[in-house]
Structure 1
Amino acid sequence: MGKVLGDVLGFAAAVAVSPLPIIAIILILATPRGRLNGVLFTVGWILGLSALGAVMLGIASPAGASAHHQPATWVGALKLALGLFLALFGARQWHRRPKDPSQARLPKWMGAIDRLTPARILALGLALAALNAKNAPLTIAAGASIGSAGLPVGQQIASLAIFVLIATLGLLAPLGVFLLGGERARTTLGSWKDWAAQHNAAVMAVLFFVLGLKLLGDGISVLAS
């Protein structure tokens, strides 16, 4: 189990520092129902990551993700494909990043966050975790790594739970600051939001490119063994 956790912690950390969800929860916390909506958004995020990871584990186990204690060929092919996607996506993000960080623009949907109902806030958290093109490949890769290790079901679930917990730290930090920080929380969260908005493209480009190269190496290693 220790080796599996070593493989997936990098993916979890990359999901945790994804700037867009962090910006989203900071904007949500600034709404009139910020306390409730912030918790709902985080719950939706956790459900999204857990559901996508569980689906991957459900596919991996009966499909023979681990053959003779070695990852099956299809796992290597999946990692190779995900690695290529992430490396190319990272290179594209770097090329398209604003030359002047102060000129960075947030997605238009963020302007409507203060008008979303609690149910839609929950759905937004779920979608950003499970359907977002930036986070879903990392969760799929983590699920494949866990499923291909030949662990007992209990250890697979525990590994996925640890992945989800680490991947949620990026939301738990601003939520904790908001709930415990008093009046200074707004200033602190505002500075976090501004930094994340300005450096979103560059941060994700570097993370995706590095993790993409790692997955490419993992996939080649599995296919060559």
Structure 2
Amino acid sequence: MAHVMHAFETRPALAAALAERVSGALQAAVATRGTATLAVSGGSTPKAFFEALSAQPIAWDRVKVTLVDERFVSPDHERSNHKLVATHLLKNAAAVAEFVPLYHPAETADAAAAFATAAIAPLGHPFDVVILGMGNDGHTASFFPGGNHLGAALDAGTARCVMTMEAEGAGEPRLTLSFSALADARLLVLHIEGAEKKTVLEKALSGHDETEMPIRAVLERAATAPDIYWAP
């Protein structure tokens, strides 16, 4: 699978360029279909990008935002991706966007995943924009090496859904969009920063074992060629 590498000298430069790229894609979607959908990742990497994107002057009241994955924790938990997005993205011009969470207050993560699958179905498909991250172990979304549902999550034949994942490196039980729900986004971006992440990316590009490094599924099998945004 071909991909396009966008390298920047600084992280602020990356954040600004990616915000402009995503803004353009969302505006085009609104102009074409009347609405736009955006699925974003958590972690510390996208904070500056979120801040830059939140100020972009687009029709945010027609944009629906959801998460690529989430921890099975309440929205006020310090490790919640919902909280991260609410703090850094759903503000400024983007405060009027509709947010569709993956976490739901259910007794189990499996029950929450069922609620989330129903909640994202009205968003339609494919997503207009999906922003992925990558861990130092080669995971993306909550596709963790050794994950208990990794095979089903990476299977292109799995119905678009939110599913659970538990793995040694995941911490809390996770809720994650399936590969099938992410791989055909109109704009598919892998956003990584730092020398270590670039080394991990190079390792992923040099091999093929998706169970060892699940990011390889995106790099090799995604229907949309991913754009990689990196800064040191």
TM-score by length of 1: 0.22
Larger helix proportion, structure 1 or 2? 1
Q: Which has the higher contact order (CA 8 A, sep 6+)?
A: 1
Larger strand proportion, structure 1 or 2? 2
TM-score by length of 2: 0.21
Q: Which has the larger radius of gyration?
A: 1
